[in-house]
Amino acid sequence: MSDLHIISAKHPPETLSVIGETITVFGPEDSSKPFEVHIQEGTEGGGPPPHYHPWDEAFYVLEGQLDLTINGETQTLAPGSFAHIPANTIHAYRNATKTTKILAIVSDCKGGQMFAAMDAEIDQMPRDAEKLTKLGKRFGVNFNPYSDLS
């Protein structure tokens, strides 16, 4: 039986700064729950580089537009669009409008843990790309996925 998880408005979650995005992680550091929810906000051109990880992820676009690339194919998602990305699928996104806001559902708490580490350790991209690659590996994320395809 799953535990009940409630985050009180009296104790709002921390907002993180992650590679030019603002990410609020609901329920970080709690590996007993089956998933984690993030609100991710960014400006035009922002978003993560191509990567993959061993957990499923889903995006629901709240505001703006998102250019989502999955296995090399890009689609533009408008508000109300939902995308599921299976574990170990190469994906990336770019915010396609002045501001974009998405709800992300992640099936492993390592996503939020990684975002907290990125907030603390990554200062500027692309200067910190090597540091990002090493940090990702600590959490099971490969930020250099095309090197695996040779």
Which tokens hold the place of 104?
């992300």
**pLDDT tens digits along 27-67:** 665 666 678 889 999 999 999 999 999 999 999 999 999 99
For residue 60, the surrounding DSSP H or E stretch is strand 57-63
More confident: 133 or 147: 133
Per-residue tokens: 70: 């999955």
Q: Domains of the chain, with CATH numbers?
A: 15-137 (2.60.120.10)
pLDDT in tens, 71-89: 889 999 999 999 999 999 9
Number of neighbours of residue 9 by Cβ within 10 angstroms: 5
Residue 1 banded pLDDT, cuts 50, 70, 90: very low
